[in-house]
Structure 1
Amino acid sequence: MTLTHKKDCITFDKGAGRFSFLPTGDIFEFTYEDFLINGYWGNCIDGSVNNIYLRVYNGDRIAAYPLLGRQSRSELLAGRNVLVHRGCVDGISYKVAFHPAKEDIWFWIVDLSAENKTADLIYGQDAGVALKGGVLTNELYMSQYLDHMVIKGENGYTVSSRQNLSQGGRNPYLQQGSLNTEIIGFSTDATQFFGNEYRKTYIPKVLYSNLPNVNYQFELAYIALQTAKMTINGNKRVVFYGIFKPDQPQPVTEILYAEELLRAYKSIQDSCEILKKVKKPPLKLEFGTPFVSEEFSENEICKLFTDRKLEEKADGKLLSFFTTYHTHVVLQQKEVLVERPHGHIICTRPDMRKVSKGLISSTNYMYGIFHSQLTAGNTSFNKLLSNARGFLNIIKNSGQRIFVKVNGVYRILTLPAAYEMGICFSKWYYKIEDDIIIVTAFVLADRPAAALQVSSRNGRKYDFIITNQLAMGEHEYFHPANILNMDGTILISKTVKEPWDPYPDLNFAIHATDFEYKIADDRIFFADGKPRNGTMLTIQLSSAEEFQLIIEGRMDRSDSSIEKLSKRRLDKEFKRYADHYRKLFSKFHLSGPESEQIEILNEIIWWYTHDALIHFAVPHGLEQPGGAAWGTRDVCQGPMEFFLANGHFDLMRDVLLRVFAHQYLETKEWPQWFMFDKFNYQAEECHGDVVFWPLKSLGDYLLASNDISILQEKIPYRLLSSHMVSEEKTTLLQHVKEAVETIEARFVGPGALVNYAGGDWDDTLQPADPSMKERLVSAWTVALAYQTLNQLAKALDEVEPEYSAKLKGICSDIRESFHEVLIKDGIPAGFVYFNDDNTIEYMLHPLDQKTGIKYRLLPLTRSIIAEMVDREQAEKNVDIINNHLSFPDGVRLMDRPARYAGGVSRYFQRAEQAANVGREISLQYVHAHIRYIEAMSKLGKAEKAWEAMFKINPILIKKSVPNAELRQSNTYFSSSEGAYLNRYDYQEYFDKLRDGSIKVKGGWRIYSSGPGLYVRQLVSHLLGIRFAADSLIIDPVLPDCLDGLRFDFMYSGYDISFVYHMSSDVQEVSVFFKDHKIQAKKLDNPYRPAGVSIDGDLVRKLLKDHSVFDIYLPLMKQD
C-alpha cells in the first residue's frame, strides 16, 4: 500500500493567488506566490481553524452556530468563482458566499433572513502571513513577528497584520475588516478566542461573551471580528473582507486600500453563477466528540500516587507534584490554567563516550498527542510522524492519536485526568466510567525504538483506532510512503530516493507485539469509504484490554528483513535509563539544611540533565520543533560545560573534533550553526563571537583533561562553496592558530578591540546597518576574547610556550583597550561605534543619546567572569546590576527594551522587529541570568548566587518569584516574560517589572544551552567541585545557611561525599579526611579567598579507604 496525499480541493486560482478549500467547505490553504496567508491547514475530519459564527440572542441566552465547513450544518455549493454555505438555524436562514475577487482580495458575504431576531456575527481567521516554508517550520516564531495594528474607521475596527521579519526581502501584509457593518469587537490571538480551557471544553470561550478588544501579540495569530448586534426583520447582509499584499515596507498607521476594496466588491456584485451542490464527505455515525476524562478525586490521586513531594497548589487545589521516582505528575486542573500546554520530549539512550547517531526522539503532549515529530536521527528531515501544531489541540490529526469506542461510539482521547512524565516516558490516565485507561509512550534503552502501550486498569476490553499522520520528511503532506504489512510488523519507507538525501534507505518498522490488527488509511472515518488524508495510517484493533506498539527507526537498512520485537516492560526500561542518568550527572545528590530547596535541586538535576541531552543529542524543543543542528556557540556552552562539570572527557573530545572539522577552509571561521550528521547543511555566516566558543571550549577541555594529544589530531575543514568536507587536513592546533589570525584581522580602533561583525550573543541585536558590522564593538565580545585567549594561553603554556606567549601578549593589549576605550565614567558600555573621524559614540551607556538604553548586562558579568576588571570595577559592575538590571524574576539584559515603532529597524534587527514580548525581547533571558550566577560565584557573593538559582528554577517557582504565572514545572524555560499585551504596552509600563506588579510567564522550553549551564554553576561554582588536569578542585561559594550540607558525587569512578562546614573561625578553605587536613594547593582569585586543588592520585588513594571529605570554609560576606 502506498499513502500519497492528493489535494482533493475546491480551488479558485486568481493570478498569483490560490484559495483552496476542502470538500467539507473548510479552508485548506490560502496562498499568494510562496506566501501562506492562513496559519494552519484544515482537514476533512476536524475542519479548519477559521469560521464565521452566528450568535442568536434569546433573552439572556446566547446560542452560537458555526456557519462554515465540517463544524456547521451548512449545505455546500460551488460555482466557478464562488463557494456558498447555506442553511437555517434558530429561525434564521443564512447564506455565506466566499468570493475571490482578485488575486489578493476576497470577500465573505453573509446574507441573513429572519423575522424579529437579534443576532451578531463573529468572524475568525488564523494568520500565517509569511513564506510557506517558514510557517510550516514554526508558526509560533512567525507569529511573534506579525504586527497587528487595530484601527477604527467608518465600519468600526479593522485589523492589519504586517510581517516584520523580512521574507525574502519583503514584508507581507494582511488586512481584514468589514465593508458595510460596524465591527465593535476584535481579538488578535487564538488564546484570546478559544481560551486555554478549550483543551477541555472544545468550545471557543468568546462565543458566550464578547471579544476582549485587546491587541494581544502572542504566538497564535488569529484575527477575530465581532459585529454590532443586529435586529433582523427581513434580510440583512454583512460583508467581511481580506486583502493581502506581498510587501508593505512601512508600518501601517491607517486603513489602506479602501478604494481598491470597493472596486473589487463592485466587480463581484453583479456576478451570477450556476451553483452545483457539493457533497460533503460524511463521517460515520460511530465517531463522536473528543473524550475528556473526568478529574481525579483526592482519594483517587492518593491511591495512584502514594509517594508525592514538592506539591504545587492554587486556591487550596492540588495542581501538580513530583514523586520519589523522579517523575512529574500534572493534574487536569493545571493544564486548563496554563498558556503553554504541558509536553515532553523523550529520546533513546545516547552514548556517553561519543556523539550518537540514529537516536529515536518523540514529542508528546498532555492534551492527547502520544507521539509526534518521531524521528530517527535528524529531527527535521528523518521524521516519521508530523509535528503538533499550535497550543490548543484544534486540529487533531497531527502525530499519533488514539480513538477508543465507548458506549458504541469512537471518541478521540484528549485531556486526561493526570499526565505523568519520567525521563524516558509519559503516561496519560483517563477515567472511563468505572475504569481507568492508561496510555504510555516510552523509549527503549537498547535500540532506536519508541513504544505505545495502552491498558485497562480493570481488565476491560475496548476497540481502538490508532491514527498516525506520516511525514516521511520535513513536513506532512509532501512525501508519499510505502506501507508493507507483514506478519505483525508494518514497514514504512520512502517511495522516492532523492539524490540529495544522505539517508535514502531510512525506514521505520511498527511492531504489533501481541495482538491482531487491521491497517488502512483515513477512509475508515467516512461513510462513503473514500480516503481524504493520504498521509494518515490507521491501525484498528478489537476487544483489547491491553496492547503495545513498538516503532523502530532503521537508518540505513534497505532490506525488508526485520527482527520482530517482543513486548517491553516500562519498569525495566526506566531502570536502565535511571542508571544511565545517574552516571551522566555523576550520582549527584544533596542532603542537609534548607530541605525544600535541597529537594528542588535534587529533582531538577534529573530534568535539566534530560533537557541538556535533548538540546545536545536531538536538537529541538517544545516550541521549536525545527532544529537538527548544533549552534556553534550553543554546543560549546551548555553541552560541553555539562560534560565538563561531570568529567565526561571522551565525549568532549569527540564533540571538539567534530566542531573543529566544520571550520570553513576559506574564512577559517565557523558557521553560526551546522548539522552534525550526514546532511551538509550549515550557515555560511556567523556572529562576531562565534569564533571564540570552539577556542574557549578547547581551553576548558585541555585544562581539565590534560589531553594535549588532541592538538595533533589531523582534521579537515568544510568548503564554503559546497559545505562538503575538504580533502585538506591539518592539525587541530593549526585550526586554532588560523582562527586566532581571523580575530586579529578584526581589530578596530586603538589597540585590540575586536569588531562586532554579524552580532554577538544577543541575536536580537544584529545591526540593522551593515556598516555597523565593521565599526561597532561589543564590550561583551571583547571580554569573551580576553577570557578565551587567556585561558588558551594557559592551556598551551607547556606544550606551545612561544605561541602561548603570543596569546598572552594579545590578551594584554585587549585588556588595556577594554579599560581605555570601553569603560567610560566607570561604566562598561554595551557597544562603542567608531565614526569616520575615529571619534567614539557610546551605545547602551548613560552617554547613549540614540537608543534610550543606558546599561547592558553582558559586559558587566563577562568582564568579571573573565577576571578582566579589578575588584573595585567589579563592585561597580555589581552596583549597576543591583540598581538598574535586577528584577524580582532575575536580571535583565538591558535597563530598557529597544524602541519599537511598528517593526522597522533603525539600529538593530529583531530587537526592533519582534511584535511579541518573548524570548530575548523579554530581556530576562535565562541563559544570561545563569552567567550572572557565575559572576556572583566568582566574586564570592554566595547569597546572591544561591537565591538566583531559584528565580529560574521552575519547581515551586512562586516561592522565589511571587509574580510568576503558572508554568510547566519540570522543563527549562528560556525566558521570563512580562505578561504584556504587546510591545507598546511593554514600553509604557516596563517599570512594572521592577516592582513585580505585573505577572511574568515562562518562555520557550527545553531547546537551550541553559540546562547544561545551570548544572555547571551548581556543581562547579556553588558547590565548587571541578576537574583539573589530574587534580580535584574544591572551591565552593555557599551561603551560611547551608552549614552541614552533604554533597554526594563521583570522581574518577569513585563515590565521594563532601560535607561543608561554615565557620567564622576559618580564614581559608581547607579539606579534611578522617580529621586530618589534606595537603592542597591554594588557588588564585582576584576577588575573594579562593579554594584549593588536591592531587588526583592522592584523592584516588584516599577514596579506596573512605569516601567522606570535610570542607571547612570561611563565612561568605553578606550581600
Structure 2
Amino acid sequence: MMKKISCFMDISQGNMGYRFLPSGDVFSFTYTHSRGEYLINQFRGNVKDGSANNIYLRIYDNGYPVNIYPLLGIQSASRLLFSEEALVYEGIVEDISYQVTFSPEGSLWFWNISLWGNDKEVDVIYGQDIGIAEAASVYTNELYMSEYLGHTVFEEDTGYVICSRQNMPAHDAFPYIQQGTLGIKAAHYSTDGLQFFGLSYKDTNTPEILHSDLLDYNLQYEFAYTALQTEPIYLQGEHTFAFYGFFLPNHKEAVRTAEYREQIKQTYERIRHRNFNAHPVKPVRIKEYFGSPYSSPSFTKGEIDALFPERILEEVENDSLFSFFTKEHSHVVSKEKELLTERPHGTIIITPPDVTEVSSRLISSTQYMYGIFNSHIVIGNTDLHKFLSTPRGFLNLLKNSGQRIYIRIDGQYHLLTLPGLFEMGMNYSRWFYKLPEDTLIITAFTAVSNTDLILSVVSDKNVTYDFIITNQLVMGNNEYTKNLEYTAIEKGLRFTLDSTVYPGLHYDLLLPDVDFTLSDDRIFFEGDTPFDETFLTIHLRKNCFTLLIKGFLTEPSIEKTTQYDFLTEKEKALLFYQRLINHFKLSGITGNEKIDILNETAWWYAHNAMVHYSMPHGLEQPGGAAWGTRDVCQGPMEFFLATQNHTILRQILLNIYSHQSYETKEWPQWFMFDKYSMNAGECHGDVIFWPLKCVADYILASGDKDILKEILPYEDAPKKQQSLLEHIRLALKNLKETRFVKDTGLITYAGGDWDDTLQPASEELKVKLVSSWTVALAYQTFTALNTALKDTEPALAQEFSILSGMVKDAFCNILIKDHIIAGFLECGDTYRHMLHPADDTTGIHYRLLPMTRSIIAELADKEQSKKNVSVIQQNLKCPDGVRLMDQPAHYDGGVSRLFKRAEQAANVGREISLQYTHAHIRYIEAMAKLGAGKEAWDSLFVINPILIRKTVANANIRQSNLYFSSSEGAFKDRYEYEQHFELLKTGDIKVKGGWRLYSSGPGIYFRQLVSHVLGIRFTKDGIIIDPVLPRELDGLRFTYTCFGKTFTFLYQIGESDETKITSQGKEISAKVLNNPYRTAGLLIAKEDLLTCDEYLTIHVKAFT
C-alpha cells in the first residue's frame, strides 16, 4: 500500500490549520467550519518543488536587483526550526543574516523578518497564492475559483494593502483575506501569478518579475497570486518588519476599505517579541545530481524541413515559424509560439468512441507541451476514476503532477520541460527535444481498439540514457484523498480503486521490454527519505523504451500484453475520424486558404466533439464526467444529425430520457451518464425543452417513431418504467401546470436560461422574470413536436400546436416593444421590458440570444428579422464576433443584486466576456436561415482558431487546433471593462481565446458548416440541398458521405434565383421547400439520390 503524506508540521489555532512540509514549504492553510473547510492558499506544495508562495530577498547594485534569494522552503538554503506556535527560517546570504518567523494568532498570521547587515541595499518581495474558497472547489478547478476572487487594493500611509473577497458564495458565505505589511512600506504590488511568474517561467523556471518592480495594477485573471514589494532598505545593522495575512470566513458586503488594520497592528505588537522555543528540524536537501529543468533549444528551419517536409497553414510571426498543420491532420507548434501563448498548448487523447452505443469503456489522457506526457488518465468517469493527477495552473509551476520524465545528461538529471517542437494528432502527442548531439522523441498515444495508453521514448542516435519517470498517483477524484492499493504483476504494477459502482476498476502499469527499478520521491533526497509515497518513480537505463498503461472497468483478466506500433495506431485513428466525418473534404478553389482551414477544422472539431461527448472534460475544465442536459442535446445531437449517425442518436436519447425526474417531471442541469447516479438536482428554466426538441429533431431526421414506445425508467423512480412517449407527456404536464405566466404564452425564467451568468439572484425573480430566448426556444420545440407527432399521436400534436400558437402570440405582442425584442420581461401588475432600450435599470439595451433564436425558430416575421439583424450589426457585432449584450452587467465589488455570476465574476472571461463562441455559431445559423451567405461564411472564420490573426486583427496568439469557448477582451478587471467596453467594438483592445475544447460548440460548428452553409442535411427519406454561399465560392467542391454513399458536390454559383441539381448533365427531380425569409432549398428523394453518379452539380444563386 502506498500512503498519503504523513510527515507534516502542523500549527493549529482554533478553526485555523497551518500545515507545512518537512522542507518548510506551505502545504495548506485551512479554516474548518461546520460544513467543511476553506482552503486559503491555492496550490498544495510538495517537498521536491516547494510551494507557490515564497519570500524573496533581493540585493541591489547600482539601483538594480542583481542577486535574488528565496528565503522559504526547499528553494532556499535556510535552516529550519519548529515549535507548535511558530516556524523559523534562518540563514546567511552575501554577509546578510536573516530570520523569518511564521507565527499565527487565530486567523491572523505574520511573516516576521529580521535582516542584519551593513552597507547593503535590499528589498523583499512576498508572494502568496490565494484560494479562499471551499477546498473541494479549489481542488476541482482553481482557475474557475480565481475568476470569482475579487481583489481590492488600497494605498495607505504604510503602503499597499490587498483585500481579496471570494465572490462565489460557499454556503452563503464570502471568504476574505487581507494582506499587507507592518513596520515597513509596501511600495509595489501585483495580484495575479501571470504578472509575477510570466510566460517565460515555462522556459526559465524563474519568476519573471524578480528582476524588476511589481507592476502596480490589479489583474483579475485565473491565477490569484498576491505579491507585495517593500520599499528599499539600506542595511546598517538590524532591520525588522513583517508581512501579514488575515482571514475572515465571511465578508458579506463589498470591500470598501482596508478594515481591521488597527486590530492587526495591536496583535502584532503583542506577539512580535514572543519567544517560541523552536527546535531545529532535520534539513531536507535535493541530491546534488538533480539539476535545473531542461528546455530544448529551438529547431532550425532545415531541421523542421527534415522532420516535416509537407506543411500547410503555416503560422509565421516576425519571420519565425510558429505552427503548421500536416497532410495527416496533425498540428505542430514551436517553442517560440508556446512562450507567447497564455494558455499552454495541450490536448486530450481518447480511445475513439464506439458510435453505435453509449459506452464508458474508453481511456483518456491530458497532455501539455511543457512536459506533461500523460495526466488526468481515466477510464470511464473523468472525475472519479483518475489514475494520474491533473496539472494545476497554466505555468508549470509545481512539477509533480501527471507523468513526467527526467533524463541524465553530463552527470546530472534534468526534468524535460519545453520541447523544440510539439505535435498533436487525433490520438497522440509527440515531443521533440534537441539534446547535445541527439534528438529525443517522446510519443504518447492511445490504442484504437483497446483502453490502452502507450508512452514511447526514442533516442534518434540510439544513445543510452538514464531516465526517471515520475507519476503522481490519485486513484479517485483528487490527490491525497486515498491510500493506494497495488500489487506486483509481471513487468509492472496493478492499481485497484475501491469502488462499489465499478468493483473491478483497475489500472496496469507495464514496462514490457526493459529492466527498471520502482521507488517513490525518496529518489530525489539526500538520505533517501520518502515524503510522498503516492509519487511513483521508475528508474531505467535505455536508448528507447515503451511504457504501457491499461485501464479496466471490470475484474482483472488474463490477457497477453499487446505490442503496439505507433504508425499503425495512428492510421487506424485517422481512418476512424475520416469515417466519423463522412469523408468531409472541400476542394476545387486553388489558393483559397480558408478551404484548407475548414478541412483541418472538420477533423479537429470532430476530435473535440468526441471528447465532449464521450469523455466530458477539457483543458481548463478538468472536472466533468457528466452530460449537461442542454449541452448533450446540442453538440453531440447536432454533430450526429449532420453525419446521419442515427444509431448513436437513439442511444443518447434513451439515456437522456432515463434521467428525467418523475417527481419534478424535468431533467437535471447535468447528470452522470454511466453507472453513477449523481446529478445536479436542479435545472435552469430552458433545460426541459431540450430533450423535447431533440426527440422531435431525431424523429424528423430518422423516421424512427418506434423510439416513442421504448420503456424507460426515471432517475428518481427506476422501478416506475414508462414509454418515452409518456415521459414527453409528463414533461408537458409540468410545463402546463407550472411554467406559463397566468393565461399567456409567456414562460417563467425559473432557474435561468442558456446564459449561466444571468441566473436570477433571488427566488422572486425566478417567478417574475421571463426570458424571451426561452420563449423562442419553446416555440421551436412545440412546433417541431407538432410536426414529428402529428401522424402517430395527433391529439398530442394538437396540444403542442395550440401551445406554439399561444407562445407566438405572447412573443410578438408582449415581448416585442417598439420593434425590439426585450431580453427579459418582468411580470407584475404591469410588464417591464428589461435588456431593452426602455430599460433604465440595468443599462443594457440589447440581448443577442432572442434575436437569433427567433430567426432560427422562424418565430420572427420578415420585418422583425431585418430589425434583429440591424440591431445586432449596429450594437452587438465586434471584430471578434457578436456579443451577448451591448453592455456588461454592472460589477460592484462582486455583490449580486439582479443576477448571480454576471455580477460576481471579477475576471473578464468566459460568458462574462460576452463573446461566447457558442452564441456566435447560432448567429451563423440565423444568418444562413436568412440567406446572408457572405456574413455566414465570413463569420465562420471570426471564431476559428486557425490563423485567426488574419481574420481578427486584434486577436492574441492562441492554440490553433482546439475550439475556444469565448473571446475575451484583455481588460485588467471588471471596472476597466465596463468603462472601456467600446474598445471591443472598435477593435482597439486585444482579445484572447478562452477555455478550450470542453463545449458543445465544436459539434454545433460542424453542423452549421455542413448543414446550413454548405447546405447538406437529411430527412428520413431524402436529402435537403440548401447552400447559402457567396459568389467567391463558385467552383467549390464538397465531398461527403450521404446515405452510405460518398458524393462530391460541385457548387456553381450564379445570378439565377432558380436552384437545381444535375448529375451527368441531367436535372434531378426535387421538391422545392419553404423558407419564410428567402428562396429555399430542394428535397431530393433518397432513392433518386442513390441512383445518381457520385458527382453532383448544385446550381444556385449567390447569397450576399
TM-score w.r.t. length of structure 2 = 0.99
**Worse-matched range after superposition: 295-304 or 755-764:** 295-304
Contact map agreement 2:58 2:65 (CA 8 A) in 1: no
Mapped pair 1:742 → 2:742 = no
Alignment correspondent of 1:510: 509
Match of 1:1017 among 1008, 1019, 1043: 1008
Q: Which amino acid aligns with 1:309?
A: I
SS at match of 1:628: coil
Whole-angstrom CA distance in 2 between matches of 1:913 and 1:222: 19
Whole-angstrom CA distance in 2 between matches of 1:943 and 1:164: 43
Whole-angstrom CA distance in 2 between matches of 1:877 and 1:219: 35
- Structure 1 residue 7: deviation in Å? 2.6
Match of 1:730 among 722, 725, 731: 722
1:15-26 counterparts in 2 under 5 A? 15-26=14-25
Cα shift readout 1:353-391 (whole Å, capped 9, x = no counterpart): 111222101101000111100001000001100001001
Match of 1:435 among 438, 441, 446: 438
Whole-angstrom CA distance in 1 between matches of 2:65 and 2:257: 37
Whole-angstrom CA distance in 1 between matches of 2:5 and 2:545: 32
Whole-angstrom CA distance in 1 between matches of 2:172 and 2:362: 37
Alignment correspondent of 2:1052: 1061
Alignment correspondent of 2:543: 545
Whole-angstrom CA distance in 1 between matches of 2:582 and 2:966: 28
1:357-756 counterparts in 2 under 5 A? 357-494=360-497, 497=498, 501-542=500-541, 544-557=542-555, 559=556, 561-593=557-589, 595-719=592-716, 726-745=718-737, 746-756=739-749
- Structure 1 residue 750: deviation in Å? 4.9
Alignment correspondent of 1:1101: 1091
Q: Which amino acid aligns with 1:504?
A: P
Cα shift readout 1:193-241 (whole Å, capped 9, x = no counterpart): 0000100011111110110001000000000001111111011112100
Contact map agreement 2:749 2:771 (CA 8 A) in 1: yes
Whole-angstrom CA distance in 1 between matches of 2:163 and 2:289: 43
Alignment correspondent of 1:70: 74
- Structure 1 residue 341: deviation in Å? 0.5
Structure 2: gaps spanning 5 or more residues: none
Cα shift readout 1:680-712 (whole Å, capped 9, x = no counterpart): 100111000000000111111001000011011
**Worse-matched range after superposition: 70-79 or 1000-1009:** 70-79
| Deviation >6 Å, runs of 4+ | none
Contact map agreement 1:937 1:1022 (CA 8 A) in 2: yes
Match of 1:165 among 149, 163, 168: 168
Contact map agreement 2:74 2:285 (CA 8 A) in 1: no
Contact map agreement 1:1044 1:1061 (CA 8 A) in 2: yes
**Worse-matched range after superposition: 963-972 or 744-753:** 744-753
- Structure 1 residue 749: deviation in Å? 4.4
SS at match of 2:387: coil
Cα shift readout 1:1036-1076 (whole Å, capped 9, x = no counterpart): 10111000100000011111111001111x22211011111
Match of 2:100 among 93, 96, 112: 96
- Structure 1 residue 61: deviation in Å? 5.2
Whole-angstrom CA distance in 2 between matches of 1:903 and 1:1006: 28
Q: Which amino acid aligns with 1:997?
A: D
Whole-angstrom CA distance in 2 between matches of 1:418 and 1:698: 46
Mapped pair 1:919 → 2:910 = yes
Mapped pair 1:137 → 2:167 = no
- Structure 1 residue 503: deviation in Å? 1.5
Q: Which amino acid aligns with 2:358?
A: V
Contact map agreement 1:744 1:754 (CA 8 A) in 2: no
- Structure 1 residue 260: deviation in Å? 1.9
Whole-angstrom CA distance in 2 between matches of 1:126 and 1:956: 35
SS at match of 1:121: strand
Tell me the number of residue pairs that the alignment of Structure 1 and Structure 2 aligns: 1097
Contact map agreement 1:1034 1:1091 (CA 8 A) in 2: yes
Whole-angstrom CA distance in 2 between matches of 1:7 and 1:875: 67
Identity of aligned residues (%): 49
Alignment correspondent of 1:722: none
Whole-angstrom CA distance in 1 between matches of 2:350 and 2:646: 22
Alignment correspondent of 2:961: 970
Match of 1:823 among 811, 816, 821: 816
- Structure 1 residue 1098: deviation in Å? 1.4
Contact map agreement 1:638 1:1009 (CA 8 A) in 2: yes
Contact map agreement 2:1028 2:1102 (CA 8 A) in 1: no
Alignment correspondent of 1:227: 230
**Worse-matched range after superposition: 1080-1089 or 567-576:** 567-576
Alignment correspondent of 2:1070: 1080
Structure 1: gaps spanning 5 or more residues: 720-724
Whole-angstrom CA distance in 1 between matches of 2:488 and 2:507: 12
Whole-angstrom CA distance in 2 between matches of 1:273 and 1:643: 67
Match of 2:115 among 112, 115, 122: 112
Whole-angstrom CA distance in 1 between matches of 2:1078 and 2:273: 84
- Structure 1 residue 470: deviation in Å? 0.4
Cα shift readout 1:778-824 (whole Å, capped 9, x = no counterpart): 00000000001101110112111222122111111110111110000
SS at match of 1:811: helix
TM-score w.r.t. length of structure 1 = 0.97
SS at match of 2:468: strand
SS at match of 1:694: helix
Cα shift readout 1:564-608 (whole Å, capped 9, x = no counterpart): 423311110011111110111100000022620000000111110
SS at match of 1:321: strand
Q: Which amino acid aligns with 1:65?
A: Y
Alignment correspondent of 2:277: 274
Whole-angstrom CA distance in 1 between matches of 2:362 and 2:193: 35
- Structure 1 residue 282: deviation in Å? 2.3
Mapped pair 1:80 → 2:84 = yes
**Worse-matched range after superposition: 468-477 or 272-281:** 272-281
Mapped pair 1:878 → 2:881 = no
Whole-angstrom CA distance in 2 between matches of 1:113 and 1:1043: 79
Cα shift readout 1:956-1002 (whole Å, capped 9, x = no counterpart): 00111000000000000000000000000101110000100000000
Alignment correspondent of 1:1112: 1099
Whole-angstrom CA distance in 1 between matches of 2:760 and 2:115: 53
- Structure 1 residue 1030: deviation in Å? 1.3
Q: Which amino acid aligns with 2:884?
A: L
Contact map agreement 2:296 2:419 (CA 8 A) in 1: yes
SS at match of 1:301: helix
1:191-206 counterparts in 2 under 5 A? 191-206=194-209
For the aligned residue pairs, the C-alpha RMSD in angstroms reads 1.0
Contact map agreement 1:309 1:324 (CA 8 A) in 2: yes
Cα shift readout 1:454-511 (whole Å, capped 9, x = no counterpart): 00011111111111100000001111112222221321113xx35xx41232110012
**Worse-matched range after superposition: 652-661 or 476-485:** 476-485
Q: Which amino acid aligns with 2:855?
A: I
Whole-angstrom CA distance in 2 between matches of 1:216 and 1:6: 34
Q: Which amino acid aligns with 1:549?
A: L
Mapped pair 1:1070 → 2:1060 = yes
SS at match of 2:55: strand
Whole-angstrom CA distance in 2 between matches of 1:681 and 1:381: 11
Contact map agreement 2:942 2:948 (CA 8 A) in 1: yes
Contact map agreement 2:10 2:84 (CA 8 A) in 1: no
Mapped pair 1:931 → 2:922 = yes
Contact map agreement 1:445 1:573 (CA 8 A) in 2: yes
Contact map agreement 1:1044 1:1060 (CA 8 A) in 2: yes
1:901-1050 counterparts in 2 under 5 A? 901-1050=892-1041
